[in-house]
């Protein structure tokens, strides 16, 4: 009998909590951003007293699986942070709400306010399934002092210059074939980096409608060959990159250049403060273009959400210029809204580089099969770098196998 | 009458049977049917044995098979032998503080695999790894363990042996203690030295234990997954540590080719099945004194 009373009381308490007025939104945010976003939510709730937001922060490593299961199990949140490459996948599973209707009525969120490359990661055909939240892009990090030492007072601006800087940088004093100083760190298995070189050469890996691979494009081949030549000439270390402590290598000058994203700025200040002021960032060296890769995160509303209007108000809130700047201050995530870049805080040279690079940046192909294609590129690129296969053979196989992947339903 | 007689025991095992049926048996059957379809993001349609035909032609799959065989056929004998050796050492009267050693050797088995993988990655680090430092004392140049396609698999095998031999050791210890002392006493009276009594008493009587350990270890080693997943960035370098299960995982949960992944699972199932059958054949001719 007493138990029953207890249960009744518990039930009353639990249901009592639910009778708050207004709408409750659930929001899934990844990694440490899940903590940091609480500041933004407090101010949002102050301005919109009829909406309350429940944040759930998910570790990046589980995020994808968790989202998949929630889509299949029908337990999706109202809003979720999605990696740019995930939007096509979840949109193709018919899990995301189309935002075209909201966009037409909105004064805050407009296509032209965002970087083109970033906006494209949200569109399937001409329908919009997400709004850019923050962006990232890859640029060149280099040691100013070491480059000056070998006679360059500016970062390499073209492919040719990149090569000659690298040749000047590499140092093998004892002539044992293992340099004491390499020139640049290039990953042997990262499709994103090679993709940027392909774009820079004016080539591509897929046709504009993503239906056929174009590894037989001579410009694509040129980029692959250029990339691999860094390993062949001993300018970049082969294979060592997996367990390499990049910060240490950058500090000692073992690797005076590398290509990476905005997160490195804070990490470098944090891990190797000794070399503050001796390094800088630069836009990528140009061939035909200096195109980089654009990534970052978008905010999407799930189709099953019952509070889509409220969810849209939150997305609008996060897209306002002052909130984009505030978010940058909280996390260092780069604003996706172009006008935010005119503000003072972003006008530091190291960060401004990213703003400039974002003008010429493209997303990875927005198709669900990209993951599989990416894996294939990495497999064959690695085989060429390790001299297990010739370039022509690898590109031929890539062409054939990616064709097969794309022809599958 | 007889139904009633048997219903009580069945009632008792029902919970585990029902759970087994729902969460194990049904998925196993379902996976077989899934392996006959091209189930993926775009729905599913029946393709017969198409997935299996594709597997036969898939160079990455044969690569992963080769890697898994390499890992299993080098790793299993080594880890069973080292388990047996330590068990015999710990069972002899020569060793003191046995409990300490027994616990120590068993510790890696109960340690979280991910933690082990991360720590071993540091040990193998080509710049400041402990192993490199140790080898350099003897003027041996250390290879780039996990970054070199030739050395990555041996490095993983070494770590797997370190992690697993404690388990076989404990089972061997139990097996050794089950051998009655009187056989050894009889052997001493007959004038056999300790090597001969090991060869003619210990080994034959340990046969069932050995077969059990071999089967369990083989099954475990065929399912190599976490080590390369953590230590070599999912199968690198140049796919030299890509295992069958890792390839299955990639297809199923990265490329969302559930049908194809199910087919890989079934191939692996039959492999393990065949090897377990082969090993069981040895146990048929058991030794009794």
Which pLDDT score, from 0 to 100, does residue A286 have? 94
Per CB-CB distance under 8 Å, the chain B contacts of A382 are 236-239
Interface test with chain B among A96, A185, A243, by most B beta carbons within 10 Å:
A243
Going by pLDDT thresholds of 50, 70 and 90, the confidence category of residue A369 is: confident
Cα–Cα distance for residue pair A142/A159, rounded to 1 Å:
15
**Residue A250 and residue A172 share a domain:** yes
CA distance B224 to B226: 7
**Residues A36, A132 within the same domain:** yes
Q: Are strands A23-30 and A127-128 parallel, antiparallel or unpaired?
A: unpaired
Judge whether residue B289 has pLDDT over 60. Answer: no
At B185-227, the pLDDT tens digits run: 898 898 888 888 888 889 888 988 998 899 999 999 999 999 9
Sign of CA dihedral B154, B156, B159, B160: negative
Please choose, from the candidates A244, A204, A254, A250, the residue with its C-alpha nearest in 3D space to the C-alpha of residue A224.
Answer: A204
In sequence order, what are the residues at sequence separation of 6 or more whose Cβ sits closer than 8 angstroms to the Cβ of residue B259? B34, B35, B36, B37, B38, B39, B40, B44, B47, B51
Measured CA to CA, the distance from residue A238 to residue A234 in angstroms comes to 8
Q: Is residue A249 included in any domain, yes or no?
A: yes
CA torsion angle A237 A238 A241 A244 (round to 10): -60
Average pLDDT over residues B25-34: 94
Asked if residue A11 is part of any domain, the answer here is no
Q: Which of B147, B239, B255 shows the shortest C-beta gap to A371?
A: B255
pLDDT at residue A139 is higher than 50: yes
Angle of the B59-91 helix axis to the B98-110 helix axis, nearest 10: 160
* Domain count for chain A: 2
Co-location of A370 and A276 in the same domain: yes
Please indicate whether, in this complex, the C-beta atoms of B255 and A244 are within 8 angstroms of each other.
no
- Chain B touched by A176 (CB under 8 Å): no
pLDDT digits (tens, 9 = 90+) for A179-228: 888 999 998 878 889 999 999 999 999 999 889 999 999 999 999 999 99
> Same domain for A282 and A382?
yes
Tokens 């949002």 sit on residue: A44
What is the least distance, in Å, from the CA of B255 to any CA of chain A?
A: 5
Q: By C-alpha distance, which of A139, A195, A118, A122 is closest to A376?
A: A195
Residue A258: pLDDT band by 50, 70, 90 thresholds? Answer: very high
Task: Say if residue A280 is in the same domain as residue A231.
Answer: yes
Instruction: Give the C-alpha separation, A370 to A406, whole Å.
Output: 10
**Residue recorded with tokens 């591509």:** A204
For residue B24, being part of any structural domain is answered with no
Provide the domain limits for residue A54.
21-137+294-362
Token readout for A378 is 């990495």
For residue B52, give both structure tokens: 């299996």
**CA A26 to each of CA A23, A41, A132, A311: distance values in angstroms, whole numbers, following the listed order:** 10, 12, 19, 9
Q: What is the CATH number of the domain that holds B246?
A: 1.10.3720.10
Instruction: Give yes or no: residues A195 and A75 share one domain.
Output: no
Whether residue A194 is found in the same domain as residue A327 = no
Question: Residue range B69-79: average pLDDT?
Answer: 95
A130 with A82: CB under 8 angstroms?
yes
Residue B11 lies in a domain: no
Instruction: Give the contacts of B206 (CB within 8 A, at least 6 positions apart).
Output: B84, B172, B175, B176, B179
Task: Write the DSSP string, B108-156.
Answer: HHHS-HHHHHHHHHHHT-TTT-HHHHHHHHTTPPPP-TTTSTTTHHHHH
Q: Are B237 and A242 a contacting pair at CB < 8 A?
A: yes
- pLDDT of A18 over the 50 cut: no
Domain count, chain B: 1
Let me know if A176 is exposed, middle or buried by CB neighbors in 10 A (0-12, 13-18, 19+). Answer: exposed
Distance from the A42 Cα atom to the nearest Cα atom in chain B, whole angstroms: 36
Residue-wise pLDDT tens digits, B149-182: 899 999 999 999 999 999 999 999 999 999 998 9
* A289 CB-near residues (< 8 Å, 6+ apart): A199, A200, A202, A360
Asked whether residue A257 falls in the same domain as residue A394, the answer is yes
Which DSSP string do the residues of A100-152 spell out, in sequence order?
A: HHHHHH-SS--GGGB-HHHHHTTEETTEE--EEEEEEE-EEEEEHHHHHHTT-
- Predicted confidence (pLDDT) at residue B82 exceeds the cutoff of 90: yes
Q: In angstroms, rounded to a whole number, what is the distance separating the alpha carbons of residues B109 and B83?
A: 12
Nearest CA in chain A to B121: A243
pLDDT at site B276:
87
Q: Check A243 against B253: CB less than 8 A apart.
A: no
Question: Quick check: helix, strand or coil at residue A263?
Answer: helix
Domain membership flag for residue A6: no
Residue A368 contacts B where some CB pair is shorter than 8 Å: yes
pLDDT at position B286 is: 58
The answer to whether A231 and A188 have CB atoms below 8 angstroms apart is yes
**Has residue A15 got a pLDDT over 50?**
no
* Interchain proximity B232–A242, CB inside 8 Å: yes
CA–CA distance, B81 with A261 (Å, rounded to integer): 49
Same domain, A277 and A401: yes
The H or E element that residue A43 is part of is helix A33-47
To which residue do tokens 């200096």 refer? A290
Say yes or no: A350 and A298 in one domain.
yes
In whole angstroms, give the CA distance from residue B155 to residue B74: 12
Residue A111 has what DSSP assignment?
G
Q: Is A288 helix (H, G, I), strand (E, B) or coil?
A: coil
Tell me which of A2-6, B113-117, B166-170 is least confident. Answer: A2-6
pLDDT digits (tens, 9 = 90+) for B234-277: 887 888 999 999 999 999 988 888 999 999 999 999 999 998 88
- Residues of chain A found within 8 Å of residue B253, distances taken between Cβ atoms: 65
Query: Domain limits at B243?
Result: 58-284
Contacts A–B by Cβ distance under 8 A: 66
Do A409 and B43 lie within an 8 Å CB cutoff?
A: yes
Computed over every residue of chain B, the mean pLDDT equals 89
* Together in a domain, A383 and A357: no
Contacts of A401 (CB under 8 A, 6+ apart): A376
User: If we measure between CA atoms, which residue out of A228, A226, A189, A223 comes closest to residue A204?
Assistant: A223
Residue A251 domain flag: yes
pTM (global) more than 0.90:
no
Within-domain flag for A239: yes
Asked whether residue B257 is domain-assigned, the answer is: yes
Query: What pLDDT score was predicted for residue B10?
Result: 86
Q: Is the pLDDT of residue A352 over 60?
A: yes
Nearest to B238 among A369, A372, A386 (CB): A386
Helix (H, G, I), strand (E, B) or coil at A201: coil
Residue in this structure with the two tokens 């790894």, named with its chain if needed: B129
Best-predicted range by mean pLDDT (A168-172, A397-401, B6-10): A397-401
pLDDT at A278: 93
Q: Are A67 and A83 in contact (CB under 8 A)?
A: no
Nearest to B236 among A189, A240, A371 (CB): A189
Asked whether residue A1 is domain-assigned, the answer is: no
Q: How far is CA B228 from the centre of its chain?
A: 14
pLDDT of res. B69: 96
pLDDT digits (tens, 9 = 90+) for A63-95: 888 888 888 888 899 999 998 888 888 888 889
CATH number of the structural domain spanning residue A397: 3.40.190.10
Mean pLDDT of B128-137: 88
∠ CA A331-A335-A340 to the nearest 5 degrees? Answer: 120
Question: Looking at A362, A384, A399, which one is the last position of a domain?
Answer: A362
Task: Give which of B59, B68, B74, B73 is closest to B225, Cα–Cα.
Answer: B68
| Candidate from A243, A368, A375 with C-beta closest to B146 | A243
Same domain, A287 and A382: yes
Read off the pLDDT band of B85 (50, 70, 90).
very high
Could you give the C-alpha distances from A2 to A6, A7, A11, in angstroms and in order? 6, 9, 14
Cis before B120 (ω within 30)? no
Phi, psi of A386 (to 5 degrees): -85, 10
Q: Tell me the helix, strand and coil percentages in chain B, rounded to 5.
A: 75, 0, 25
Cβ distance A29 to A37 under 8 Å? yes
**Alpha-carbon separation of residue A177 from A174, A234, B148, B168 (angstroms):** 8, 9, 17, 45
Q: Is B130 near chain A, with CB under 8 Å? A: no
- Structure token pair of residue B260: 């194809």
Residue A168: strand, helix, or coil: helix
Considering only residues 189 to 228 of chain A, which have any Cβ-Cβ distance to chain B shorter than 8 Å?
189
Shortest CA distance to A41 belongs to which of A249, A243, A326? A326
Rounded CA-CA distance B251/B34 in Å is 14
């Amino acid at each position: 009998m007493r138990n029953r009373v207890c249960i009744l009381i518990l039930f009353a308490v639990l249901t009592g909590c639910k009778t708050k007025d207004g709408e409750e939104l659930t929001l899934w945010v990844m990694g440490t951003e899940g903590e940091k976003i609480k500041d933004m939510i407090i101010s949002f709730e102050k301005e919109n007293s009829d909406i309350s937001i429940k944040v759930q922060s998910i570790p990046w490593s589980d995020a994808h699986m968790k989202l998949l299961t929630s889509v299949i199990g029908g337990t999706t949140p109202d809003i979720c942070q999605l990696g740019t490459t995930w939007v096509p996948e979840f949109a193709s599973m018919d899990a995301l709400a189309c935002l075209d209707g909201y966009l037409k009525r909105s004064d805050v969120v407009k296509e032209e306010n965002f970087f083109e490359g970033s906006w494209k990661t949200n569109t399937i055909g001409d329908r919009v399934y997400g709004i850019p939240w923050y962006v990232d892009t890859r640029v060149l990090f280099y040691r100013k002092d070491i480059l000056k030492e070998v006679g360059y007072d500016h970062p390499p601006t073209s492919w040719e210059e990149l090569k000659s800087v690298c040749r000047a940088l590499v140092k093998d004093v004892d002539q044992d074939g293992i340099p004491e100083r390499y020139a640049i760190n290039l990953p042997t298995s990262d499709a994103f980096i090679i993709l940027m070189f392909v774009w820079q050469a004016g080539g591509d890996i897929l046709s504009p409608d993503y239906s056929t691979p174009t590894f037989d494009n001579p410009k694509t081949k040129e980029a692959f060959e250029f990339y691999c030549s860094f390993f062949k000439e001993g300018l970049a270390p082969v294979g060592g990159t997996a367990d390499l402590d990049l910060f240490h290598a950058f500090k000692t000058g073992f690797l005076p250049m590398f290509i990476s994203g905005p997160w490195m700025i804070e990490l470098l200040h944090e891990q190797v403060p000794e070399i503050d002021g001796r390094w800088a960032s630069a836009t990528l060296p140009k061939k035909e273009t200096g195109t980089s890769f654009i990534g970052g995160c978008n905010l999407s509303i799930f189709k099953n959400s019952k509070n889509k209007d409220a969810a849209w108000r939150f997305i609008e809130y996060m897209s306002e210029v002052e909130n984009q700047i505030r978010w940058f201050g909280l996390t260092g995530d780069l604003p996706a809204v172009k006008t935010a870049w005119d503000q003072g805080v972003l006008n530091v040279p190291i960060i401004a580089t990213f703003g400039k690079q974002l003008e010429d940046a493209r997303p990875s192909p927005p198709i669900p099969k990209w993951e599989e294609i990416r894996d294939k590129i990495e497999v064959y690129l690695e085989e060429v770098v390790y001299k297990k296969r010739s370039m022509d053979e690898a590109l031929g196989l890539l062409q054939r196998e990616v064709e097969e992947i794309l022809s599958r339903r | 009458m007889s139904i009633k007689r048997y219903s009580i025991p069945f009632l008792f095992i029902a919970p585990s049977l029902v759970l087994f049926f729902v969460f194990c048996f049904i998925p196993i059957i379902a996976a077989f049917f899934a392996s006959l379809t091209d189930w993926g993001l775009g729905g599913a349609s029946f393709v017969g044995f198409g997935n299996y035909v594709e597997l036969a032609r898939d160079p990455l799959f044969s690569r992963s098979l080769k890697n898994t065989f390499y890992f299993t056929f080098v790793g299993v004998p080594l880890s069973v032998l080292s388990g047996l050796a330590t068990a015999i050492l710990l069972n002899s009267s020569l060793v003191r503080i046995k409990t300490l050693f027994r616990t120590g050797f068993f510790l890696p088995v109960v340690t979280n695999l991910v933690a082990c993988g991360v720590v071993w990655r540091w040990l193998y680090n080509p710049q400041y790894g402990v192993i490199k430092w140790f080898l350099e004392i003897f003027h041996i140049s250390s290879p780039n363990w996990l970054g070199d396609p030739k050395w990555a698999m041996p490095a993983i095998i070494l770590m797997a042996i370190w992690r697993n031999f404690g388990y076989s050791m404990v089972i061997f210890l139990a097996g050794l203690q089950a051998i009655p002392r009187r056989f050894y006493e009889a052997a001493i009276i007959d004038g056999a030295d300790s090597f001969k009594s090991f060869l003619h008493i210990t080994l034959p009587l340990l046969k069932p234990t050995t077969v059990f350990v071999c089967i369990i270890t083989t099954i475990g080693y065929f399912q190599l997954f976490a080590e390369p997943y953590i230590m070599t960035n999912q199968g690198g370098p140049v796919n030299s540590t890509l295992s069958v299960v890792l390839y299955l995982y990639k297809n199923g949960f990265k490329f969302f080719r559930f049908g194809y992944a199910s087919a890989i699972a079934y191939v692996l199932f039959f492999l393990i099945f065949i090897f377990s059958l082969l090993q069981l054949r040895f146990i048929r001719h058991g030794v009794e004194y």
